[in-house]
Amino acid sequence: MILLVVIASILIAGVLVFQYHEQSKDYHKGRLERKEEQVRQSVEYVLRETTYPVTTENLHNIFHMEIYRIANVQNQRLNIYDLEGQLLKSSRPKFEVDSVSNCLRPYILNQLEASPTKRFVDEKAVAGDNYRASYTYINDNKFKPIGILNLPYYEDDSFSNMELRELLTRLAGVYLLMLLIAISLAYFISTYITRSLQTISDMLGRTHLTRRNEKILIQNPSEEIKKLVTSYNAMIDELEQSAVKLARSEREQAWREMAKQVAHEIKNPLTPMRLSIQSFERKFDPQDPDIVRKVHEYSKTLIQQIDTMSSIASAFSNFAEMPAQQNETLNVVKIVKLALDIFNEDYIHFLSEEDEVIAKMDRTQLIRIVTNLVKNAIQAVPEVDSPRILVSVATDKDFVKICVADNGIGIEDEFREKIFEPKFTTKSSGMGLGLGMVKNIVETYKGSIDFTSQPGKGTVFSVKLPKENN
């Protein structure tokens, strides 16, 4: 509304100024024609009453004094030229001789000669004012041209410009008043219209999927607002139904994920248990003098894995952490070596510059970290001619750094962002939970895990765990 008022005022002011200028041009054009007609009649009267022969040579004598009388009566300056454009007589009392006023330009003579009406009006601007000069032939009694009559005319628009300024000033006052009225109306109308919209906007801002949302109740709404409120209330009903379905789906999905995690974690100790039993069965010799020691080692390995399964079952029953941390002071170098004992691959190597790296952490979870990373490394080198996996332990200030490097197939760039996501895997078998679990355990300890990889050359996973975990 305000914009329309402003645009309308500008357009009307522009049209008004244009109309004034057009009227001014038409006025001066008509006034010059009237002046010219009156002066021609006076000139013709003098030519009829003169005693001189009406010729070009006698025009100076004929209008010697009459030109001043005509100029005074008609209140109009005039000049008389011969047919060659030379000045013969001027109505100015004091005439200063100069080449411009004494001789007409050839352009004017050509235009006058070519004009069907034998009349030419020259228009130009002089000193910021518009100037017109009309040129017509002076004819004798036989209508033969004997001279050229020139009427200079300066357009005086001071009065019309003053009127235009006064009118624009009045219009500006009127439009200012209209603008103030439009602003007031726009404010009250927009307030009335947006009051209901503000209510709807506030309700939309408070709408949330996880809680019960109130419906909108507006007294006597307009037809458009009523449709909007009805649509919103219908959306709230659908949202509540969707929230119930979503909650049920999330619970079911959470149990599915938990079941997958438990199954995956139970499979981790079952595999080394199976391998240990098979190895024990294959290598068992009652006559071996070290049989007692070997049975003790096999038993210790099985007991560790059984303890891991028991820890997983306890954590699953609590549904809080899987498994719960049981921190103890231990030698990380020794535990990592122990975790590698379940693997029979001869290309797995261990390296540590220190015999002891003491840290406070959960033994079972540390074994799970190493086991998962080594298993991933083993799965990455099946097609390599000379596979090699290097597990190293080192101290990095207040952290323990465990690295698992392989010369396997590597990780493609397109999978780098998803490598730690649950259920993501590039293998044909497995559920893709191993690295996700490792990341969760590491983050629980406020540690970090990252990797570097080159496709076709290998991958290095680096885990940093704080030595003290409070």
| pLDDT for res 393 | 94
What pLDDT sits at residue 254?
A: 63
The answer to whether position 253 is within a domain reads yes
More confident residue, 248 or 103: 103
Max mean pLDDT among 256-265, 293-302, 319-328, 402-411 falls in 402-411
pLDDT of residue 470: 57
- 57 with 115, same domain: the answer is yes
pLDDT reported for residue 323? 53
Packing angle, helices 434-444 and 363-380, rounded to 10 = 150
- Is the pLDDT at 429 greater than 60, yes or no? no
Q: Do residues 317 and 360 touch, judged by C-beta distance below 8 A?
A: no
112 assigned to some structural domain: yes
| Identity of the residue numbered 149 | L
Tell me which of 295, 321, 347 is where a domain ends. Answer: 321
For residues 403 and 308, membership in a common domain is answered with: no
**Which residue range forms the structural domain that includes residue 43?**
2-161
User: Above 90 in pLDDT, residue 401?
Assistant: yes
Q: Supply the pLDDT for residue 296.
A: 81
- Output the pLDDT for position 302: 79
DSSP letter string over 351-385? EES-S--EEEEEHHHHHHHHHHHHHHHHHH-TT-S
Give the residue-averaged pLDDT of 72-100. Answer: 77
The beta-strand segments (E) located in 155-302 are none
Looking at residues 452-469, what average pLDDT do you find? 88
Q: Are residues 459 and 332 in the same domain?
A: yes
Whether 430 shows a pLDDT value over 50: the answer reads no
158-188 in b/e form (b: 16+ CB < 10 A) is eebeeebeeeeeeeeeebeeeeeebeeeeee
pLDDT of residue 367 exceeding 80: yes
pLDDT at 388: 92
Distance spanning both ends of the chain, measured CA to CA: 67
Q: Taking residues 327-351, what's their average pLDDT?
A: 90
Is residue 364 domain-shared with residue 254, that is, in the same domain?
A: no
Same domain, 140 and 214: no
pLDDT tens digits, 135-188: 999 998 888 999 999 998 888 777 777 888 888 888 888 888 888 888 888 888
- Tokens 């698992």 map to which residue? 404
Between 295 and 210, the more confident residue is: 295
Confirm whether 447 is domain-assigned: yes
pLDDT digits (tens, 9 = 90+) for 15-49: 888 888 888 888 888 888 898 899 999 998 988 88
The answer to whether 62 and 45 are in contact (CB under 8 A) is no
Per the model's pLDDT, the better-predicted residue between 315 and 177 turns out to be: 177
Which of 469, 451, 450 is CA-nearest to residue 460? Answer: 451
Among candidates 456, 446, 1, 379, which has minimal Cα distance to 189?
1
Q: Are 449 and 386 in contact (CB under 8 A)?
A: no
399 confidence band (pLDDT: 50, 70, 90): very high
Contact predicate 463/442, CB 8 Å: yes
Q: Are 196 and 219 in contact (CB under 8 A)?
A: no
The more confidently predicted of residues 76 and 415 is: 76
Do residues 336 and 371 lie in contact, with contact meaning Cβ atoms separated by under 8 Å? no
- Considering the domain architecture, whether residues 11 and 156 belong to the same structural domain is answered as yes
Q: What is the pLDDT of residue 105?
A: 87
State the Cα–Cα distance between residues 134 and 113, nearest whole angstrom.
13
Sign of CA dihedral 403, 409, 413, 414: negative
| pLDDT above 70 as % of the chain | 81
> Mean pLDDT highest for which of 164-173, 241-250, 293-302, 398-407?
398-407
Q: What's the CA angle centered on 98, arms 97 and 100, to 5 degrees?
A: 135
- Mean pLDDT for all residues in the chain: 80
Q: How far apart, in whole angstroms, are the C-alpha atoms of residue 56 and residue 39?
A: 18
Q: What CA–CA distance (Å, rounded) separates 20 from 308?
A: 101
In this structure, are 445 and 369 located in the same domain? yes
Q: Please, is 410 exposed, middle or buried when counting C-beta atoms within 10 Å of its C-beta (0-12, 13-18, 19+)?
A: middle
CATH number, domain with residue 383? 3.30.565.10
Asked if the structure places residue 293 within a domain, the reply is yes
pLDDT (0 to 100) of residue 318: 45
Express as a percent the part of the chain with pLDDT over 90: 14
Taking the CA atoms of residue 109, residue 111, residue 114 and residue 118 in that order, the dihedral angle to the nearest 10 degrees is -80
For 31, phi and psi rounded to 5 degrees? -65, -40
Q: Are 282 and 384 within one domain?
A: no
For residue 146, give the nearest of 35, 38, 43 by alpha carbon.
43
Overall number of domains in the chain: 3
Do 297 and 249 lie in one domain? The reply is yes
33, 41 Cβ separation under 8 angstroms: no
Q: Which of 208-217, 428-437, 443-452 has the highest mean pLDDT?
A: 443-452
Nearest-10 Cα torsion for 377, 383, 384, 388: 30
Task: Please classify residue 265 by burial: count the beta carbons closer than 10 Å to its beta carbon, then call 0-12 exposed, 13-18 middle and 19+ buried.
Answer: buried
Instruction: Name the nearest CA neighbour of 35 among 187, 152, 157.
Output: 152
CA distance 190 to 202: 17
pLDDT for 5: 78
Query: For the whole model, what pTM was predicted?
Result: 0.38
> What angle, rounded to 10 degrees, do the helices at 66-74 and 2-49 form?
150
Residue 96: per-residue pLDDT: 47
The residue type at 433: L
**Whether residue 296 sits in one domain with residue 148:** no
Q: Does some domain include residue 202?
A: no
Q: What is the pLDDT of residue 465?
A: 92
Domain stops at, among 161, 194, 224: 161
Is the domain of 22 the same as that of 144? Answer: yes
The 10 Å Cβ neighbour count of residue 224 is 11
Give the pLDDT confidence score for residue 235 in this predicted structure.
Answer: 79
29 and 108 both lie in a single domain: yes
